Structure 1
Amino acid sequence: MLTLYHAPNSRSSRIVTLLMALDALDRVDIRLTDIPRQDGSGARDPNNPHPEGKVPLLVTEEGEMIRESNAILLYLTDRFPSDLAPEVGAPGRGAYLSWLFWYGNVLEPVYMHRLAGLSHPVLSASFRGMPEAVAYLAAGLDGWAFLLGDRNSVADLLIASPFLWFPEATPDVPAIRDWVARCAAQPCIARSMEFDARSAEEMGLAPA
């Protein structure tokens, strides 16, 4: 059985959300773990084998560790095929992969730089800025309900996640606001939030 190391209300929450969307939650052993958090709470869990003590971490039956959200999402959608992700060779596979890795390579760094108040020509040249990222996302949604067309996908789950965590950060662009609302309305989002609330209570953590 696969093993997921998960900290409630963290980046690993979107992995739980995907497992629920795939109806594969019972096929993965979820081990709750603590992590150091930005507000100073939490601590590294010695039982978490992630080399940096972070989450998410997925461990295969063979003991191979898979880190980073987009790598885990890609592994799981290949492992459990569904209409949430195009299979290898299917139309839309290229766009799907591009959006998954655009999140980690561009959007999250740009978002974190903005959150930290960092600005430097090297950062702008390497990652672009938030206005460029927002424009790119809006262009990708132009005329479409979701990033891959008329159906929700794992790319939407991943890229919408920071705006679902922090709604006030959602760009004031109609196409993006409406898309975030459609992503938030997916049943797996509410179920994942309920799962995290129960998990946090089980661990004795303060409500998110």
Structure 2
Amino acid sequence: MLTLFHAPQSRSSRLVTLIDEMGLQDRVKIQTVTIPRVDGTGQPDAANPHPERKVPALLHDGTLVTETAAVILYLTGLFPETGLAPQPGDPRHGAYLTWLFWYGNVVEPVLLLEAAGISHPYVHATLRGHPEIDARLRAALDRGPWLLGDSFTAADLLCHSPYAWWTGVTPDDPAIRDWVARCEARPAAARTREADEAAWLGQPA
């Protein structure tokens, strides 16, 4: 049995969208939990198996997987037939892995540090900065409408996500803005937003 522990309007929303994109709604149970929020609201949920009571957390027959890229990799590997990720042997597989781990290792730290007003030579030497992120995205999108070319994959779902949350940090670049808009216009993304909003307001999703 597969269970995704999800807090509405959080990083785990991306995994709800992924499950929808993969057509796994009848195979993955979505269990809503509470989490502490930046604004001081919310609280840890004892039902959440994540060691820090964060989301996402995926439980599969006793095996716990946490961290967004790891959950994405786990699900797209478990259900390769859904077509959301190139598999080993596909020439695009290496690029797919690179996008997933680049996001977690570079993009989120850079954007969070910038939002917090933190700047240091060590940070830039290790992670670079927003201009380098923009350049890397633009170089990929110059070759096709999606990061891996002609097909939408879980890499697009993950890498566009901060710009969907923090529209103010979206680069003033038509190619990147159009890509974000294409990702957000997908029916699965719209359904997640609607379900999250309903859950946030305490209404049935």
The aligned residue for residue 20 of structure 2 is 20
Matches within 5 A, 1:172-191: 172-191=172-191
The aligned residue for residue 38 of structure 1 is 38
Residue-by-residue CA offset, 1:85-124 (whole Å, 9 max, x unaligned):
1111112111111001000011110010111111000111
1:77 aligns with 2:76: yes
State the superposition RMSD in angstroms.
1.4
Shift of 1:12: 0.3
SS of alignment partner, residue 97 of structure 1: helix
The aligned residue for residue 198 of structure 1 is 198
Shift of 1:160: 0.4
SS of alignment partner, residue 9 of structure 2: coil
TM-score (norm 1): 0.94
Q: Percent identity?
A: 54
In the alignment, the residues of structure 1 paired with residue 57 and residue 5 of structure 2 have an alpha-carbon distance, to the nearest angstrom, of 5
Residue-by-residue CA offset, 1:136-169 (whole Å, 9 max, x unaligned):
1111211310000011110000000111112222
Indicate conservation of the 8 Å contact 1:56/1:67, yes or no.
yes
Residue-by-residue CA offset, 1:57-83 (whole Å, 9 max, x unaligned):
00111x111010000001111111222
Indicate conservation of the 8 Å contact 1:99/1:155, yes or no.
yes
TM-score (norm 2): 0.95
1:143 aligns with 2:136: no
In the alignment, the residues of structure 2 paired with residue 4 and residue 14 of structure 1 have an alpha-carbon distance, to the nearest angstrom, of 11
Residue-by-residue CA offset, 1:9-60 (whole Å, 9 max, x unaligned):
0000000000000110121121110000111111111221211010000011
Shift of 1:131: 1.2
Q: Unaligned stretches of 5+ in structure 1? A: none
Letter in 1 for 2:110: V
Indicate conservation of the 8 Å contact 1:45/1:53, yes or no.
yes
Letter in 2 for 1:13: S
4+ long deviations beyond 3 Å: 201-204
Indicate conservation of the 8 Å contact 1:32/1:199, yes or no.
no
The aligned residue for residue 65 of structure 2 is 66
SS of alignment partner, residue 104 of structure 2: helix
SS of alignment partner, residue 114 of structure 1: helix
Deviates further, 192-201 or 142-151? 192-201
Deviates further, 159-168 or 147-156? 159-168
Letter in 1 for 2:187: P
Q: Unaligned stretches of 5+ in structure 2? A: none
In the alignment, the residues of structure 2 paired with residue 194 and residue 133 of structure 1 have an alpha-carbon distance, to the nearest angstrom, of 30
SS of alignment partner, residue 176 of structure 1: helix
